[in-house]
């Protein structure tokens, strides 16, 4: 069995390449996984690719299995799914928070078996689904709540998909793009442009657009004592919003929702592994497949990244395939 693998390495601003890397010894209690697919996290990996991770965030931004240090060179990523080929659980399909790499060796506890009905190719959504699930837990949605999702990118659509089975909620989605690559009807929700969003019409807004204009749309859409869950990661970008007007009179709340900690509402009963397992279970719903809008071969990835990570990139989730 080979002791080498190929990995994507971010080497300088706007440059990445595939490099051969050594694998650690396969010690007792470790597994070797042959990667079937991995997911590109556009928002975060755009910052990594462009060297825009703020120095103050270098430690907090480390991926669980990251190799190298910011800014460069660094192996980054956290959405790999594959098959165990050595060690315990040989033959099992598993998910791991690992960078883009053809195969890897990690402790057995670093992988989670996929539930029945979930393919490795869809499981690449699990890390971002954790983020969406955590935001919903942060929101603590009671029956009858009117929800607005601002920003129909991957996290926005994942929140929408998780909320859509709840018939006790109203769920609307807005984005500046007329066509996001996903049909809102498939999830039984209404899609609209920002110009069509009514002011003071929602109890909870999930903001995922990473833009000042999107954040303002979310604030303006909230009714009295409404809550805004802020999921966008801005890096070093400044954000300008209007907090005058009715912001204080309407007692609005802006709540930071970030996946680094389990939401307080679930912290007593869920740890990180439990939350990731819950995300994997949610992905057994075949509708989530609609959110994967393109496939890219692993060895073609360096040449494809400029388009995939461009600010105006189309589509939702990019799946990297290794076969």
Mean pLDDT by 10 residues, the chain (323 residues): 93 98 97 98 92 92 95 97 97 98 98 98 98 98 98 96 96 93 91 96 97 96 98 85 92 95 96 98 96 97 97 92 94
Alpha carbon distance 299, 225 (integer Å): 50
According to the model, what pLDDT value does residue 180 have? 86
Query: Tokens standing for 227?
Result: 């809550």
**115: which DSSP letter?**
P
Answer yes or no: are the C-beta atoms of 201 and 186 closer than 8 Å: no
According to the model, what pLDDT value does residue 323 have? 86
Region of 131 (left: φ > 0; alpha: ψ -120 to 50; beta: rest) is alpha
Query: At 114, is the secondary structure helix, strand, or coil?
Result: coil
According to the model, what pLDDT value does residue 246 have? 87
At residue 178's C-alpha, the angle toward residues 136 and 149, to 5°, is 15
Alpha carbon distance 55, 78 (integer Å): 20
Instruction: Give the residue from 277, 314, 312, 270 showing the smallest Cα distance to 293.
Output: 314
According to the model, what pLDDT value does residue 2 have? 82
**Cα of 17 vs its chain's centroid, Å:** 23
According to the model, what pLDDT value does residue 311 have? 86
Spatial neighbors of 167 by CB under 8 A, at least 6 apart, are none
Q: Does the model's pTM come out above 0.85? A: yes
Answer yes or no: are the C-beta atoms of 294 and 319 closer than 8 Å: yes
According to the model, what pLDDT value does residue 132 have? 98
């Amino acid at each position: 069995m080979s002791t080498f693998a190929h990995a994507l390495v971010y080497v300088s601003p706007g440059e990445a390449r595939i490099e051969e890397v050594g694998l650690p010894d396969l010690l007792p209690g470790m597994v070797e996984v042959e990667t079937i697919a991995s997911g590109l996290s556009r928002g975060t990996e755009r910052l990594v690719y462009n060297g825009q991770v703020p120095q103050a965030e270098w430690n907090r931004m480390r991926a669980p299995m990251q190799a190298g240090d910011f800014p460069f060179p660094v192996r980054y990523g956290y959405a790999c799914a594959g098959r165990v080929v050595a060690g315990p659980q040989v033959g099992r399909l598993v998910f791991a928070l690992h960078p883009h790499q053809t195969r890897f060796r990690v402790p057995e506890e670093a992988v989670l078996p996929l539930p029945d009905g979930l393919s490795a190719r869809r499981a690449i959504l699990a890390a971002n689904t954790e983020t969406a699930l955590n935001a919903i837990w942060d929101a603590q949605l009671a029956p009858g709540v009117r929800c607005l999702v601002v920003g129909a990118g991957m996290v926005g659509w994942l929140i929408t998909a998780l909320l859509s089975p709840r018939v006790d909620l109203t769920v609307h989605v807005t984005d500046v793009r007329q066509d996001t690559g996903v049909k809102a009807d498939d999830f039984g929700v209404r899609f609209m442009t920002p110009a069509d969003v009514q002011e003071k019409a929602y109890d909870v807004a999930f903001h995922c657009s990473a833009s000042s204009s999107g954040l303002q749309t979310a604030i303006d859409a909230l009714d009295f004592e409404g809550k805004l869950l802020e999921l966008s990661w801005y890096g070093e970008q400044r954000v300008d919003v209007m907090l005058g007007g009715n912001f204080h009179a309407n007692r609005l709340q802006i709540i930071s929702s970030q996946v680094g900690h389990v939401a307080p509402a679930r912290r007593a009963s869920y740890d990180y592994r439990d939350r990731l397992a819950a995300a994997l279970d949610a992905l057994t719903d075949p509708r989530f497949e609609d959110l994967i809008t393109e496939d890219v071969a692993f060895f073609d990835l360096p040449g494809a990244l400029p388009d995939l990570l461009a600010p105006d990139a189309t589509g939702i989730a990019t799946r990297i395939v290794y076969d």
